[in-house]
Amino acid sequence: MKALVFQGPRQTAWQDVPDPVAKDAADAIIRVDVVPICGTDLHIIEGGADACHAARA
């Protein structure tokens, strides 16, 4: 499947990633067709969210 992957400030890329796998009987895998973008997403992409940078390292 494809995922939009954050690679750094103003750097994103569509990448092939493994399909999700249910690991527990209570897990569910759902198909998402459309999602909105929010201000936090834009701040992360622009490099304004330091916590996201730390999580990537």
- The model's pTM is 0.58
Token reading at 9: 């400030």
Q: Which domain holds residue 43?
A: 2-17+26-56
Per-residue pLDDT of 2-46, as tens digits, reads 888 888 888 889 999 999 999 999 999 999 888 888 888 888 888
Residues 48, 10, 33: CA angle, nearest 5 degrees:
100
State the SS3 of the chain.
CEEEEEEECCEEEEEECCCCCCCCCCCCCCCCCCCCCCHHHHHHHHCCCHHHHHHHC
| Domains held by the chain: number | 1
